[in-house]
Structure 1
Amino acid sequence: MAQTKPWYVILNSHEARILHDLRDVTDPDHSETDLGGPKRRLRDTMQDAPGRSFSSSGDGRRSGIEPGSDPLREDSLSFLREVFAYLEKHRLAGDFDALVLIGPADMVGLWRDALPTPLRACLQREVVKNLVNLPPEKLIPAVRELC
């Protein structure tokens, strides 16, 4: 049976760290790729007051209009699409054949909903834990312990 070449995707809503193949425990310098997306706060995107609308009954009353979507969720989805494009390029090149996702619950859920079918076939495991901010010397042992 052929041995798999796993990549480990550690992410949150605006940063992804991709560790390439951690099977060789004697190699201290594992390859890591960092991808970043927009890091906005909700108050930054909601600076403007909501629009106003007249009542449909014609009595002249006006009320605020709620925004049509969650801008932070849209940022996260846009960032995930960038991560997926990067992964798909490397999947087609044969750089990996298995994926392990590690991230907070909200991002694991978005990942699950948006993951393209070719990458879905590579997914081996999902772990709900936010490890993005760990320094490299602590990240690799933490990932090995989880997986």
Structure 2
Amino acid sequence: MDTVWIVVADAARARILSCEGRACQGLHEIETLAHSESRVHAQELVTDRPGRSWSSSGDGRHAMQETTDPSVNERNRFAREVAERLKSGYHGGSYQRLVILAAPQFLGALRELLDPQVAQIVTSQIAKNVSKIQDPAALRSHLPDFLY
């Protein structure tokens, strides 16, 4: 019987649950990963105010625009951490199938960073933020009846 890992995630927390077989019998949590930096306001993530520059037309000066949003950088950093954990679990033989249930933006970031072999065993991807649901039985209602 195949072991299925279910990742329930947003930009700040990822829970890895495990169950057996197509109907996902015995759903239980095996690990929680947390990334508190993703919950911090953007101005608290940078150490400086943006630099100032002369306007290309006229005499005025203005603040320079940040090249990337610091909160997006933190989300991508956490997605990389989750992807590495999934890779090590798969190559360690801990699971054979993967289901991802994540907030839409985090799902996109995680998809891009998955190991190609792990990406091949993803049987379902659900773009929905249900990371606050603690009870595995309540979480099961958001999953397909048969996972693969």
Detail structure 1 runs of 4+ shifted over 6 Å in the superposition. Answer: none
**Counterpart amino acid of 1:93?**
G
What is the aligned length? 142
**Counterpart amino acid of 2:34?**
G
1:102 aligns with 2:101: yes
Tell me the equivalent position of 2:131.
132
Deviations 1:56-114 (A, max 9, x none): 57x65322100011111110110011111111111111111111000111111212222
Alpha-carbon spacing, 1:141–1:120, altered in 2? closer, same or farther (3 Å): closer
Deviations 1:111-133 (A, max 9, x none): 22222212211211101221111
Give the number of the structure whose residues are more often strand, by fraction.
Answer: 2
1:35 aligns with 2:33: yes
Please list every run of 5 or more consecutive structure 2 residues that lacks an aligned counterpart in the other structure: none
TM-score (norm 1): 0.81
Q: Partners in 2 of 1:137 and 1:10 — Cα distance?
A: 11
Aligned-residue identity in percent: 23
Alpha-carbon spacing, 1:81–1:119, altered in 2? closer, same or farther (3 Å): same
1:63 aligns with 2:62: yes
Greater Cα offset, 136-145 or 66-75: 136-145
**Counterpart amino acid of 1:12?**
D
Residues 131 and 139 of structure 1 are in contact (CA less than 8 Å); yes or no, is this contact kept in structure 2?
no
Q: Partners in 1 of 2:136 and 2:101 — Cα distance?
A: 17
Alpha-carbon spacing, 1:145–1:119, altered in 2? closer, same or farther (3 Å): closer
Equivalence map 1:1-147=2 (5 Å)? 3-23=1-21, 25=25, 27=26, 30-37=28-35, 38=37, 39-45=39-45, 48-55=48-55, 60-144=59-143, 147=147
Residues 15 and 29 of structure 2 are in contact (CA less than 8 Å); yes or no, is this contact kept in structure 1?
no
Alpha-carbon spacing, 1:41–1:139, altered in 2? closer, same or farther (3 Å): farther
Aligned partner of residue 77 in structure 1, secondary structure: helix
Give the aligned CA root-mean-square deviation in angstroms: 2.5
